[in-house]
Structure 1
Amino acid sequence: MPAKDSPFFGEVTPMALDEATAQFLKQLGEAGSSPLHELTLTAARTMYAQLHSLSGQGPPMARIADVTIESEDGASIPARVLTPTTTPRGVIVYYHGGGWTVGSIDDVDAVGRHLAERTNCTVVLVGYRLAPEHPFPAASRDAYAALCWVAVALPGQPIVVAGDSAGGNLSAVVARRTRDDGGPVIDLQVLIYPATDCDLDRASYHDPANQLLLDRHAMVWFWDHYVPDPARRADPDASPLLAVDLSGLPPAVFVLPEHDVLSEEGEAYAERLRQAGVPVQLQRAAGQMHAFFPLVGVLPGSLAALTRVAESIDAALTRPK
């Protein structure tokens, strides 16, 4: 793990969770919420949806369209197109988090609307198929099919791929695949605490300060559902950190919270990209935990991070080609 006072990552002074996050976790504990890995699949999905419903509706859009996209194997997946104005300047393809196992486009509707409003970009929320009903590589194939659909349905606009956690993983995967397959041009990838590696024994996985809304037990649960065969987890489409060649990929923006079991692999992937010559911007979220980004109606740190991401997208879209 790179030192936190290294020139690349910048100096960060360790701190406790911010007050809003600590209070939020206290309320969840008082409500008797069980750890995710102890729940049934149905209960876990319900809990995840209830958690994200706290973010409210988000700002109004000029147009909202629910569409269906055909994946590579002929399966149909839902997507939601959020258009903030009559003259959007680009498209953000957003993949939700949830360990490839829980989550939906409804859960990220609010954060999608905020991103659309603050960037004046159309945001396409992708409802990729979930494990264990649809294990790896279904989600990655759906993610790429959605990117290709956007390029055809919304032509002539710069494209940003973005996602949190498992969605960050899928963003990294499609960014590499479109390079290899000669697919749609991506102008920026926004990787919000992405899962990039199947190694669950990094130090950050065992750090007591990181065992919060997401802990090591939950990540074991997620990987067991998504890629039940451990031998397949080293596939770069599951663990993008293990790809041999990361050169020629789109510029990347990382959002890494201070308290996160995935922090080490996120930093490692950022460093690999930088070494491969990819422009990298790493935004640290002091006092924040994994899963904070979509909770825009709950945690002030979410809106602060969203503002920084929007600024990065704005800079990427105004940069001369």
Structure 2
Amino acid sequence: MTASFAAAGRPNLSDGSPADARALVASGRAALGPAPEVGSIRDIDIPTRGGSIGARLITPTSPSAGLVVYVHGGGWLAGTLDDYEICARRLAVTSGCSVLMPDYRLAPENPFPNGLEDCEDALRYASRHRAELGCGDGPVIACGDSAGANLVTVALRRLGGEVACALQVLIYPVTDCDFGTRSYREHGTGLPLTRQDMTWFFDHYAPRAEHPRDEISPLRAPDLSGQPPAVVVTAQYDVLRDEGRAYAQRLSQAGVAVVYREAAGLTHGFVRLHNLIAEADAELVAIGAAIATACAAN
């Protein structure tokens, strides 16, 4: 998969309404291939300060080594548990962990900070209820992709030490509102995620004057120390590549243990394509291995 994997003939996510973007994401679900076998899948409710939200708990066939809270991407406004279940099941298999997917509230109906607060409360819930979620005293891992990775890392910083998290996994994270980086200039059109998409996502998530807030653009936080160890993975052909790399560097400079990897030849959204592209699956396997290592160390 190289830069030739363009969105030719496919509308941009931002060409229509938020409902259109959600339908576009859902329309690709059938082409993602089969879901791996897991031990069990069940839907649960998580209490939050905004009311109860749904969540999906996926357990592996073997005893869970830990609990991964996986926050899906979609620009803060698209994506469902069904859209990301195949990916989450693969993550359960490769990591040996249970995976809890919170169905956080989406913009623009529920703009910042509603989805962020849901993710914070889901992490609290996961930490306090590990045993009943089938993980015993195994560690909690926080994982997200794209806007989900943004929510994960911001939530962890806001929670401070309240939630003991063994590892944060940030897959092509949104970390800044700077749309003029080199990766934006090089890859801003013709790929699955465009510059137009990202500006549209930001504008639906929060008023433009708030975009530089470090709770929306965490790269701008004055202090990133005290966060859990991190695995940060970016894609070579992605507008978010440079800000993800810069965030990994900032974490490292703040004394956080970081493993950074740029997935060569891949574009934004590759984790959902693990059945279709060997290189994408290799990245998901590597992420699962990093989670398993963190669990073994705790």
- TM, length-normalised to structure 1: 0.87
Q: How many residues align?
A: 293
Identify the residue that residue 166 of structure 2 maps to in structure 1: 187
Name the counterpart of 2:30: 53
CA distance in 2, matches of 1:118, 1:34: 33
Cα shift readout 1:45-95 (whole Å, capped 9, x = no counterpart): 11111223322341122121101112222x222110001135211000000
CA contact (8 A) 1:53 1:107 kept: no
User: What residue in structure 2 maps to residue 276 of structure 1?
Assistant: 254
**What is the CA–CA distance in structure 2 between the aligned matches of 1:299 and 1:142, rounded to whole Å?**
32
Cα shift at 1:270: 0.5
> Which digits, 9 at most, give the CA deviation of each residue in 1:119-163, with x for residues without a partner?
110000111111000000111101111111111221422011001
Structure 1 unmatched runs, 5+: 1-16
Corresponding residue of 1:178: 159
Alignment partner, residue 203 of structure 1? 182
User: Any idea what SS the aligned residue of 2:179 has?
Assistant: coil
CA distance in 2, matches of 1:70, 1:260: 35
Q: Percent identity?
A: 41
Match of 1:5 in 2: none
Q: Tell me the residue number matched to 1:232.
A: 210
Q: Which amino acid aligns with 2:42?
A: A
Residue by residue over 1:235-273, the C-alpha shift from the partner in whole angstroms, topping out at 9 and shown as x without a partner, is: 222111111111111110011110110111101110100
**RMSD, matched Cα:** 1.7
> Aligned equivalents of 2:274 and 2:84: distance in 1?
10
What whole-Å deviation, never above 9, does each CA across 1:261-310 have from its counterpart, x for those lacking one? 01111011101000001011012210000111122223222211101111
> How far apart, in 2, do the equivalents of 1:247 and 1:35 lie?
37
Distance 1:132 1:254 in 2: 27
Partner of 2:277: 299
In 2, the alpha carbon distance for the partners of 1:271 and 1:211 equals 28
2:238 maps to 260
Amino acid at match of 1:50: S
Alpha-carbon distance between aligned partners in 2 of 1:210 and 1:157, rounded to the nearest angstrom: 43
Is 1:217 aligned to residue 217 of structure 2? no
User: What is the CA distance between 1:101 and its match in structure 2?
Assistant: 0.8
Matched to 1:56, the amino acid is G
Q: Counterpart amino acid of 2:145?
A: D
Unpaired runs of 5+ in structure 2?
132-136
